[in-house]
Amino acid sequence: MAADTIITGGPIHTMADTGAADTIAITDGRISGVGLLEDVALHRGASTEMIDLAGRTLMPGLVEPHTHPDLCGICYSWLDVSGFSHKTDAEVEAALRAEAASRPDGEWIFAFGLDAMLTGDLGNYDRPRLDDIAPRNPLVIMIQSMHTLWVNSAALRAAAINDESPDPVFGGTYGRDAAGHLTGRVEEQVAMLPFLAHADMGPEQLEVEMWKQYQRYATVGITTLGLAGAMVPAASFALFRQFADRPDVPQRLIGYLRHNEIETLGLAPGDGDDRFRVQGIKLWYDGSPYTGTMLLDEPYLESELCCCTLGIAAGTTGYANFDPNDLVEILSGLAADGWQVLTHAQGDRGCREILDLYQTALGARSSDDHRWRLEHCLMVTAEDLARARNIGVSPSFHVDHVHWYGPELHDHILGPERCEHIMPVGTAVGQGHRVSLHADSPMYPPGPLHLVQTAVTRLTRLGGRLGPSEAVAVDEALRAVTIDAAWQLRVDDIVGSLEPGKRADLVILDTDPMAVASTDIDKIGIEATWLDGVQVSNIDGL
């Protein structure tokens, strides 16, 4: 059968052991030939479209294995108070006051991105300060790492949370002062839900905002998304299915539910198709280093940033969101029912404890091809990585902590000794793990090539190198955003590399990432993305 399309004229990185290639053929949405032009040209027919890369580079479409397109749609529609946009505390407060002045009395105000690292002089946005900023409106501010809210008195009243309200089960706390009065600080997702329930934007607006995020992912070359837990499950999953059926959808999506949504949504492992599939369950074992809920062996540093701005009390070592006995029962049930599990774990103790629970729950299934995952892995140790490999658990690294917040982790939160092997991608690769890299948007902007650059250079935003011994080679980092990320999502049989029979999900780059300085990888331009052999993003000059 003649190919529909043949692409040639530039370097091609197949991310597979297929030998040298400068040409691919596409037939009916799948790759039908890969190799040198003289061989692949045999697929050419009278109606075959020939595309000349003109020296540009072709790769498999990039894979983001841990992201939140629905939460991106919601949070990016809120008032932006992020450190990416506001460099001073005065700018943040002015934006909040202007927003409060423009809203009718009683209307909820949500803001996203409060950032004590990137907004260097940020003060404490506690309940009294927010009451002064918005005396007539419920006001909710989510910090950039998404594990803390700051709320005012009006928001507490509207959410029916008061001094007598207990902390919720399955994690989370309502901050209190020494007298037991609420401070306006809300930690972790379950505690946030009474406030976030008021952020529901309605199905029509959610559809618009989520579709914007799909386009945003396409601009950085992403063609496969791993949804790590939905913000509004029923509405989001309906939209994911709807988007998957659109001919112009730029990504396929692999979805992971929260454990308590299985019966509500009535879904089973593998439900769906190659465009939208439900694959597993997402759990949160510990929290965030910037909230003080990451579970550690040794306390956070007693620094001004920790104690006064981030609100992390002296001596804090974080906490687990689950009772271990409860979680073993949950995990054992998920293993028996064939669910893939990925669990948020950041601290050294948090990673160790969830691996203990994984090992108990998997039991004899440890040798199966279950592909359970550890998510983020800021402080996972070499010993626990080795143990994880022995039970078939692989790490997905939130590596841009190194770039964006590395100086603060090193100087103010954890200290230099603990940061020597922070985000140990190099150790994991050296042990034979198939790792992935993720941005966890909306925490950090999506951008697999930026993740690759951070993993290779270990450069922070201020130009220092954090944990340089944990750097990896460019080809290893590229695997972590293509074939190995696809393997973690259990879709490596259809995407992640350019091989005959696989879906023709492609990205065209203006420069070869294997041929530029490692500090220029994130400057590479995305020329086009393709899904199932169809161009789904704009191209210039092709």
CATH number of residue 21's parent domain: 2.30.40.10
Q: Indicate if 152 and 283 belong to the same structural domain.
A: no
Residues 171 and 311 placed together within one structural domain of the fold:
no
Where is the domain boundary, 173, 199, 225?
Answer: 199
Residues 226 and 99 grouped into a single domain: no
Give the integer Cα–Cα distance in Å for 381 and 54.
Answer: 45
Structure tokens at 149: 């809210």
Distances (CA, A) of 389 to 278, 374, 469, 489: 25, 11, 20, 17
Q: How many helices (H) and strands (E) does the chain have?
A: 19, 22
**HSE of 89, CA atoms in CB hemisphere, 13 A:** 10
Residue-level pLDDT, tens digit, the chain, 542 residues = 899 999 999 999 999 987 789 999 999 999 999 999 999 999 999 999 999 999 999 999 999 999 999 999 999 999 999 999 999 999 999 999 999 999 999 999 999 999 999 998 998 899 999 999 999 999 999 999 998 999 999 999 999 999 999 998 777 899 999 999 999 999 988 899 899 989 878 889 999 999 999 999 999 999 999 999 887 788 889 999 999 999 999 999 999 999 888 988 899 999 999 999 999 999 999 999 999 999 999 999 999 999 888 889 999 999 999 999 999 999 999 999 999 999 999 999 999 999 999 999 999 898 899 999 999 999 999 999 999 999 999 999 999 999 999 999 999 999 999 999 999 999 999 999 999 999 999 999 999 999 999 999 999 999 999 999 999 999 999 999 999 999 999 999 999 999 999 999 999 999 999 999 999 999 999 999 999 999 998 645 43
d(CA 138, CA 38): 67
Residue 102 is part of which domain span?
78-199
Backbone angles phi, psi at 7, to 5 degrees: -115, 130
Give the Cα separation of 181 and 313 in Å (integer): 17
Is 257 a domain residue? yes
DSSP state of 459: B
Q: In whole angstroms, give the CA distance from residue 484 to residue 496.
A: 7
> What's the token pair of residue 532?
């199932």
Q: What is the dihedral of CA 476, 494, 67, 478, to 10 degrees?
A: 10
Tell me the β-bridge partners of 476.
Answer: none
DSSP codes, 356-369: HHHHHHHGGGGGSS
Rounded to whole angstroms, the Cα distance separating 349 from 249 reads 41
Same domain, 429 and 367: yes
Q: Does 376 share its domain with 482?
A: yes
Structural domain contains residue 542? no
Q: Which of 148, 169, 199 is the last residue of a domain?
A: 199
Same domain? 525 vs 476: no
Find the DSSP H helices in 25-88: 37-40, 69-75
Which pLDDT does position 538 carry in this prediction? 63
Residue 161 and residue 213 share a domain: no
Same domain assignment for residues 269 and 212: yes
Phi then psi dihedrals of residue 39, to 5 deg:
-85, -45
The answer to the question of residue 540 being in a domain is: no
Instruction: Kindly report whether the peptide bond that precedes residue 442 is cis, defined as omega within 30 degrees of 0.
Output: yes
The verdict on residue 541 lying in a domain is no
192, 214: one domain:
no
- Would residue 89 count as lying in a domain? yes
Which pTM value belongs to this model?
Answer: 0.94
Q: Are residues 423 and 327 in the same domain?
A: yes
With respect to residue 420, please indicate whether it lies within any of the assigned structural domains: yes
DSSP 465: B
Confirm if 535 and 52 have CB atoms less than 8 A apart: no
User: Do 496 and 525 reside in the same domain of the chain?
Assistant: no
269-289: burial string, b at 16+ Cβ within 10 Å, e else: beebeebbbbbbbbbbbbbbb
Longest dimension (CA), the chain: 81
Question: Of 145, 169, 199, which residue is a domain's last?
Answer: 199
Residue 323, token pair as written in the block = 């009772």
Note whether residue 73 is domain-resident: no
Residues β-bridged to residue 8: 23, 52
Q: Who's near 364: CB < 8 A, 6+ residues apart?
A: none
Q: How far apart are CA 436 and CA 421, in angstroms?
A: 17
Indicate the number of domains in the chain: 3
Look up the CATH number of the domain holding residue 274: 3.20.20.140
Amino acid identity of residue 410, one-letter, is H
96 and 182 share one domain: yes
